Amino acid sequence: MKQTMTAKIIGSHLVSGKMVAGEEIGIRIDQTLTQDSTGTMAYLQLEAMNIPRVKTKLSVAYIDHNTLQTGYENADDHLFIQTVAAKHGIVFSKPGNGICHQVNVERFGRPGWTLLGSDSHTPTGGGIGMLAIGAGGLDVAVAMAGGAYYLKMPKVCRVELTGKLQPWVSGKDIILELLRRLSVKGGTGRVFEYTGEGAARLTVPERATITNMGAELGATTSLFASDEMTRAFLAAQGREADWTPLAPDEGAEYDETVVINLDELQPLVAKPHSPDNVAPVVELTDSKVDQVAIGSCTNSSYLDLIKVAKILEGKQVHPEVSLVIAPGSRQVLGMLADSGALSVLLRAGARILECACGPCIGMGQSPKSGGISLRTFNRNFEGRSGTPDAKVYLVSPEVAAVSALTGTITDPRTFGAAPVVVMPDKFVSDDHLLVFPPADGQAVEVVRGPNIKPFPKAQPPAESLRAPVLLKVGDNITTDHIMPSHASLLPYRSNIPHLAKYCFSGVDSSFPERALQAHGGIIVGGNNYGQGSSREHAALAPLYLGIKAVLVQSFARIHRANLINFGIVPLLFADSADYAGISLNDELVIENLRDQLSAATVLTVRNVTTGKDIPVKWEATERERQIILAGGLLNYTRQAGGV
Ligand code: MIC
Ligand code: SF4
């Protein structure tokens, strides 16, 4: 049979299930990555599994989110992760080494491998032909312990790129165009495979920008072929031996096809407050800009920043604009310094930040009240910048750099000749901030500072459920809404009791208090509930507050899995019109909950307040039913006698 790239990688890693779209499959994981903000939980869970050494081919623990260290908390987290990593055979990437996805593509990723990461932008690895998937920390811990990763076999959508990118148009515009067409829900249950002459011409960093933001489509992952371009990139990284070819078979059949003609593509921008709110840059020109931020795991590669330096060379940042640049990795920063581009950036007036997530996750550089910030990042959800009423626009590095000079959103095509950048023959690797684990980690003592708190344990469901609706929300609720993540909270990712006080704080600040008093409650929501990040804190905090079930019109993939992993029942309205028939504080009852969860596909929820019965779907695989009945994945794994 003629196979897609997705089918080839899944086929060679399949441990259970059939490769039929929508069926549950289990795949073997070659490599894992964690970052610090989700990593502490992942490693606490790995410890709970009693596995002396990870069983993956390679596991890497990055510190990139929480590098500000304004108190002891972050440093406690870092040391905990460093010592757990040494004990269990995991490579540790110290703070300052760079953003996990950027460094992973540079130094560790391999075409044809599977990668599971506790971060939703793990699909960045698809830029070098890895099947790279984002998941909750517990799923990643199970994979480190040698367990399979379970998911629904995705549909495979081909994105055929015809023609050639025009001057000033880049990889970022390709993914923004897809977001414009398909929306933040459009990728659900799908892998996007990029093919065609346009794809072959893209450099690895451009490909990685596109696969990175496939996460914003809600896609399971995205993939480019591993071709000569990939080989050249890995060779320049001194890793040619890691290269293997990957391409779809001629005539492979896809479930869907989208065609983007690059000849016609123009510079695009995602307007506030969603990555799919996309318009041509030319429609927004003349809007004044207060801040320009260049970096994040989407656009912080050496090629991106060299382009920026060429645009800024000999010019000055507009006096009313603050330009901040966070290089994606130490390799990028070092090469900018060696090439002289760093001084070009400095002389133009740019502020250079550490090689880390930084402003992307609200760690510093929050714009002024009501400020307009132009960012090369991947997310512009309301409040994510740390300034509740800021307006964040997502753009390419080209648009960002040109607008930093003019002080208004500017169509770069009006700016003169586009910079030409070429892939270096050799990247200078600087692996001094990588710590490799000892051959035998048994003697390593794991250091647990006071910021490392035990995580809440899920419980098996009761015979029946009677609980009030403690919160009713609308469509596209993000994990940033559920468990906000700004600078004041990020240091508490290993302290759920503290975090839980801020659960849904931007939506309804009385929720945590009411939930604790109710001793059991239900959340009701609309479509695409839980989109965005992989943070399982968006399930752990509600668990801590006693939430038993979440009833919505549809879920984002990773969040639904996280709810199940922590024993919270994810339910869907059978008839989405019933959403309107439930109000805040209504009392809902599900009789024989346990029995129904074990076998039924449609459950009846009685709204005691209105007297109406509401049919809800419990669309779970046999494995998911067993996990919920066991009281979460950790209990299930233990009962099953390990992974
Ligand atoms: C994000 O971009 O929101 C994060 C922070 O990287 C998250 C992970 C987290 O919540 O820690 C993600 O995307 O998974
Ligand atoms: Fe870090 Fe932002 Fe990328 Fe998340 S999206 S990994 S916070 S740079």
Measured CA to CA in angstroms, residue 77 lies from 74, 137, 190, 298 at distances of 5, 15, 35, 25
Residue of the nearest CA to atom 7 in ligand 2?
361
Q: Is there an atom of ligand 2 within 6 Å of 239 CB?
A: no
Q: State residue 211's pLDDT score.
A: 99
Task: List pLDDT tens digits, range 183-228.
Answer: 999 999 999 999 999 999 999 999 999 999 999 999 999 999 999 9
Rounded CA separation 137/418 (Å): 42
Task: List pLDDT tens digits, range 578-591.
Answer: 999 999 999 999 99
User: Of 446-450, 563-567, 637-641, which gets the smallest average pLDDT?
Assistant: 637-641
Confidence of residue 641 (pLDDT cuts 50, 70, 90): confident
pLDDT > 80? residue 248: yes
Rounded CA separation 257/275 (Å): 22
Residue type, 336: L
Confidence of residue 643 (pLDDT cuts 50, 70, 90): confident
Q: Return the ligand number nearest the Cα of 119.
A: 1
Q: What percent of the chain has pLDDT over 70?
A: 100
pLDDT > 90? residue 298: yes
Q: State residue 366's pLDDT score.
A: 97
Task: List pLDDT tens digits, range 222-241.
Answer: 999 999 999 999 999 999 99
Length of the chain: 643
Measured CA to CA in angstroms, residue 62 lies from 99, 384, 611 at distances of 8, 22, 52
Helix (H) or strand (E) holding 7: helix 5-13
Q: How far is the centre of ligand 2, averaged over its atoms, from the C-alpha of 477 (Å)?
A: 18
Task: List pLDDT tens digits, range 521-580.
Answer: 999 999 999 999 999 999 999 999 999 999 999 999 999 999 999 999 999 999 999 999
Q: State residue 640's pLDDT score.
A: 81
Q: Is there an atom of ligand 2 within 6 Å of 121 CB?
A: yes
Q: What percent of the chain has pLDDT over 90?
A: 97
* Pocket test residue of 62, 100, 121, 533 for ligand 2, highest count of atoms within 8 A of CB: 121
CB 291 within 8 A of CB 409: no
Q: How far is the centre of ligand 2, averaged over its atoms, from the C-alpha of 297 (Å)?
A: 6
Q: State residue 487's pLDDT score.
A: 86
Q: State residue 108's pLDDT score.
A: 98
CB 132 within 8 A of CB 126: yes
Residue of the nearest CA to atom 2 in ligand 2?
360
Task: List pLDDT tens digits, range 393-431.
Answer: 999 999 999 999 999 999 999 999 999 999 999 999 889
Q: What is this model's ipTM?
A: 0.97
User: Of 12-26, 140-154, 219-233, 448-462, which gets the smallest average pLDDT?
Assistant: 448-462
Q: State residue 642's pLDDT score.
A: 72
Radius of gyration of the chain (CA): 24
Q: Is there an atom of ligand 2 within 6 Å of 99 CB?
A: yes
Q: State residue 140's pLDDT score.
A: 98
List the alpha helices (DSSP H) in 264-323: 302-312
Q: What is the 3-state secondary structure (H, E, C) of 377-394?
A: CCCCCCCCCCCCCCEEEE
CB 521 within 8 A of CB 547: yes
Confidence of residue 485 (pLDDT cuts 50, 70, 90): confident
Q: How far is the centre of ligand 2, averaged over its atoms, from the C-alpha of 155 (Å)?
A: 26
Atom of ligand 1 nearest to the CA of 361: 5
Rounded CA separation 397/293 (Å): 9
Confidence of residue 467 (pLDDT cuts 50, 70, 90): very high
| Six-digit token string for 70 | 């304004």
> What is the torsion angle, in degrees rounded to the nearest 10, for the CA atoms of residue 91, residue 95, residue 100 and residue 103?
-80
Q: State residue 486's pLDDT score.
A: 80
| Six-digit token string for 268 | 């695009």
* Residues contacting 508, CB < 8 A, separation 6+: 471
Mean pLDDT of 601-620: 97
Q: State residue 524's pLDDT score.
A: 98
Q: State residue 425's pLDDT score.
A: 97
Q: What is the torsional sign of CA 20, 22, 25, 27?
A: positive
Mean pLDDT of 459-472: 97
Task: List pLDDT tens digits, range 433-444.
Answer: 999 999 999 999
* Pocket test residue of 37, 392, 536, 537 for ligand 1, highest count of atoms within 8 A of CB: 37
Confidence of residue 157 (pLDDT cuts 50, 70, 90): very high
Mean pLDDT of 351-378: 97
Q: How far is the centre of ligand 2, averaged over its atoms, from the C-alpha of 107 (Å)?
A: 18
pTM of the full structure: 0.97
Confidence of residue 179 (pLDDT cuts 50, 70, 90): very high
